[in-house]
Amino acid sequence: MTTDDERMERLLKQSLLPTSTQPGATLQRDLWPVMLERLDEASVALPWFDWALLAAVVVWLAIFPRAIPVLLYHL
Amino acid sequence: MPTVEQPRELLQRFSRGEVDAFEELFRLHQGEVYRWILRIVRDPAIAEDLTVETFWRIHRSHARFDSARSFEAWARRIASNAALDYLRSRPRETELPDDLPQAPQPDPGIAQELRQKTAQAFGRLPPKLQIAATLALIEEQPYKEIAEALGISTGAVKLRVFRALRLLRKNLQRQGVEP
């Protein structure tokens, strides 16, 4: 590392302080309730593949309406 | 990040997908994960969001977790990736704020304006270089820990830090600032 690099490093350390010296350095609240919300949302949300499959079935039934009783029989 | 001992059984229950075990690990590690992310993104609100995002990724990957390995190291790796994704996605204009807190006793030889320009130029560095330099130089984290968290060798971390300093100096010179 050259003198220029060392000077740059010093300047950077003067410009940005370690986060441990700043407000909010430690977590101020329990994030578990937020995590739970996220888990609940995910359990309700359907993956894109399921939506694509559903769309394919709807299109198929629109083209071949006679297939509806067959589908219902198999459900 | 200080090591917190977990019973092997807790980690095994987590890897089997038990939500109770996940909750226990979440409560044990949320503070450390938050602090690690904060060191990278330097914004408490964003660090909170990314902590939840990190644990969401942890939850999704529970089946891939090897309970013989360290949960802390695995969580830190996932947290670093989440923070890196954030740095890559954020708009360039909204990088580091102008009113960053300065050192309590700033070097009188370094002008306030120069420090601000340095902080802004640092925020415009490529995220991979920025993370390595932030953790190594500003946060003074051990190189070995940074390497593990970023999934690279210690030598690669040193190289990124070196490149970050060079690029930062070049960017400042381009603005007419002689660091």
Q: Does B17 touch chain A (CB under 8 A)?
A: no
pLDDT band of residue B178 (cuts 50, 70, 90) is confident
Tell me how far apart the alpha carbons of residues B76 and B169 are, in angstroms, rounded to a whole number: 30
pLDDT band of residue B11 (cuts 50, 70, 90) is very high
- Select the residue from A3, A9, A12 to test the B interface by mutation, using most B Cβ atoms within 10 A: A12
pLDDT of res. B107: 58
Identify the weakest region by mean pLDDT among B30-39, B87-96, B103-112.
B103-112
pLDDT digits (tens, 9 = 90+) for B45-70: 999 999 999 999 999 999 999 888 89
Domains in chain B (CATH in brackets) are 1-90 (1.10.1740.10), 102-179 (1.10.10.10)
Nearest CA in chain B to A36: B23
pLDDT of res. B103: 54
pLDDT of res. B98: 46
- For residue B177, pLDDT over 90 is answered with no
Q: Does A1 touch chain B (CB under 8 A)?
A: yes
Tell me how far apart the alpha carbons of residues B14 and A63 are, in angstroms, rounded to a whole number: 47
Q: Are B95 and B79 in contact (CB under 8 A)?
A: no
Binned average pLDDT, 10 residues per bin, chain A of 75 residues? 83 90 89 94 76 90 89 83
For residue B43, give both structure tokens: 């914004």
- For residue B137, pLDDT over 60 is answered with yes
**In 3D, which of B117, B124, B110, B48 has the Cα closest to residue B83?**
B48
pTM: 0.79
Min Cα distance B98 → chain A (Å) is: 11
pLDDT (average), residues B70-93: 91
Are the Cβ atoms of A39 and B140 closer than 8 angstroms?
A: no
- For residue B4, pLDDT over 70 is answered with no
DSSP3 helix / strand / coil % (chain A, rounded to 5): 70, 0, 30
Nearest CA in chain A to B166: A5
Task: Report the mean per-residue pLDDT for chain B.
Answer: 88
Residues of chain B contacting residue A11, judged by C-beta atoms under 8 Å apart = 110, 114-115, 118, 179
ipTM reported for the complex surpasses 0.95: no
Are the Cβ atoms of B52 and A4 closer than 8 angstroms?
A: no
